[in-house]
Amino acid sequence: QAQLVESGGGLVQAGGSLTLSCAASGGTFSGGNFKNYAMAWFRQAPGQERQFVMAISGSGTSTNWSDSVKGRFTITRSNAENTVYLRMNNLKVEDTAVYYCAADKTPFQPTSLEGPYDYWGQGTQVTVSS
């Protein structure tokens, strides 16, 4: 059993900040196994394909990011709490999307490819107004 639940989405003005959380639960992630999964955030705007945002290795020592969010977003994780975070600063209108959390059973490479991720959350809406 594996479950990923995103939270923290909402409405924010351009230039503002927001922090998203993704809580992992179930037997798949229990007993210290959460650290064996690379974690990532993807997003999907209306009428658009889902796109990669940021990813982090199981240990938290390696990260990967899209150029569109470089310098503005930060991904972190707490393996003790089975949670991954996305801190979003200087938000832009084009950041408006449903944000999804995903887990990859390979812990070493925080890949930007969608295919390797084994588990997905239901998403949380982020709306940035001008």
For the segment 70-121, what is each residue's pLDDT rounded down to a tens digit? 999 999 999 999 999 999 999 999 999 999 999 999 999 999 999 999 999 9
- Look at residue 100 in the predicted model and tell me its pLDDT: 98
Per-residue pLDDT averaged across 13-39, rounded? 97
pLDDT at 54: 98
pLDDT > 70 in the chain, percent: 100
pLDDT, average across residues 22-33? 97
| Average of per-residue pLDDT across 33-60 | 97
Amino acid occupying residue 128: V
Determine the straight-line distance between the first and last CA of the chain, rounded to whole angstroms.
41
Q: How confident is the model at residue 63 (pLDDT cuts 50, 70, 90)?
A: very high
Average pLDDT over residues 53-61: 98
The reported pLDDT for the residue numbered 36 is 97
Three-state SS sequence of 59-103? CCCCEEECCCCCCCEEEEEECCCCEEEEEECCCCHHHCEEEEEEE
Band (pLDDT 50/70/90 cuts) for residue 12 is: very high
| Bridging pattern class, strands 10-13 and 124-129 | parallel
